[in-house]
Chains A and B, each alone.
Chain A
Amino acid sequence: MPVRPVLRYPHPALKQPARALAEGEDPTPATDDLLDTMRSHQGCVGLAAPQIDAPVRIVVVDASCHPKARDANNGLLVLVNPVVVSSEGAEVAREGCLSIPHLTANVRRATHIEVEARGTSLRSEGFEARCLLHEIDHLDGLLFLDRVDSLATDVFRRKRSSGK
């Protein structure tokens, strides 16, 4: 159950749609690696399997520790074959991604969603919903840059606290 390297764009695996797990197929190996890898990155609230070079439809999200989601979260979520079945509202907010580490961007996302996944369904809102939508995008080979509205006003170089 190792921490795996997180792929960075332009690694081609990030642009490939991931395959659904077959009925009865065990998600454990990829899931364990996803959780270990997510927890090894400070401030990381979600990760999708393609980011660790596992081309399957699994995402993990844990927004419970994040100040923006303290009042509205579902705790640790491990979702196999997640599908967004309904979405409402729209809000623009800043996102970053370990696979595009030097940029952040303002991205428009739904504010309230319903997600169905193997063995579960849930409602999510606000910051946690944003995380889920971002991670589920990875399963379709989509990065946040694919959803940005304006390069001039919505894409930012990530501020670096140390280094050059």
Chain B
Amino acid sequence: MLAPVRHLALSAIGRDRPGIVADISGVLLEHSANVEDSQMTILRGHFAMMLVLAVPDDADRDLLASDLDAAAQRLGLEALSLRDVGDLTELGPDPSHMVTVYGVDHPGIVHAAAIALAERDVDITDLNTRLLEEEGDSLYVLMMEVALPDGLEPDDLRRTLAGVGESEGVEVTLRELEQDAL
């Protein structure tokens, strides 16, 4: 029988340098914390990490937290947070479509797209943005994977998103995700 576990959410951000993952994962291993789902990447020079951990029920959560804080100090991280999260049996919906938005950078692009999706009950399952500045040009790109609710026709959503494109002066496309089975 598997030992009972509970789940913690760890997130951290700091100036990128070699060794951040090595140090943090070392602390986690000492505490028998299993890294389940995680995502880590560089955002404009800052290394950002989000992890959902499974720790044994009898783990010393406070000691884990203080060991992680010590690691954050060593690594010069700007922020680190460890929180209890409940166990979820539902792992979230599967994305069915991809929304691509791009245009000249200005505040409000993400919100305009997100509120249009929320109003149609569309779930954003993955989101990335990138600001690309070069020789005075600023191109902002937003890409989202989304799950459409039952009954929402892609063409309906396409019309809604076209309105966002018009009001924000950006290009918006909605495409079905390729789901090739090989």
Contacts and interface: CB of A to CB of B under 8 A. Distances in A.
B100 A148 contact: yes
Nearest to A9: B139
A108 interface: yes
A119 to B, nearest CB: 33
B119 interface: no
Interface in A8-66: 8-10, 15
Interface size class of B (residues with CB under 8 A): 20 to 34
B8 interface: no
Nearest to B135: A102
Interface size class of A (residues with CB under 8 A): 20 to 34
Interface string B130-154: 1010110101011100000000000
Interface centre among A9, A103, A150, A151 (most CB of B within 10 A): A151
A117 B56 CA distance: 67
Interface in B147-176: 171, 173
A136 B100 CA distance: 20
A155 B171 contact: no
Contacts of B102: 9, 145
Given A108-B178, A151-B141, A103 B132 contact: yes
Contacts of B180: 90
Contact of A145 (B134, B141, B178): B141
B103 A10 contact: yes
Contacts, number: 46
Nearest to A100: B139
Contacts of B129: 151
Given A10-B104, A151-B143, A155-B130, A15 B171 contact: yes
A146 B173 contact: yes
A85 interface: no
A68 to B, nearest CB: 23
Contacts of A155: 130, 141
B98 interface: yes
Contacts of B173: 146
A157 B177 CA distance: 24
B105 to A, nearest CB: 10
A91 interface: no
A9 B138 CA distance: 10
Contact of B143 (A108, A150, A157): A150
A100 B100 CA distance: 16
Contacts of B41: 152
A157 B104 CA distance: 16
A151 B130 contact: yes
Which 4 A-B pairs have CB atoms at the shortest separation, nearest pair first? A151-B143, A102-B134, A151-B128, A152-B128
Interface of A: 8-10, 15, 90, 100-103, 108, 143, 145-146, 148-152, 155, 157
Interface of B: 41, 98, 100, 102-104, 128-130, 132, 134-135, 137, 139, 141-143, 171, 173, 177-178, 180
17 contacts: A8-B137, A9-B139, A10-B103, A10-B104, A15-B171, A101-B134, A102-B137, A103-B132, A145-B141, A150-B143, A151-B128, A151-B129, A151-B141, A152-B41, A152-B128, A157-B132, A157-B134
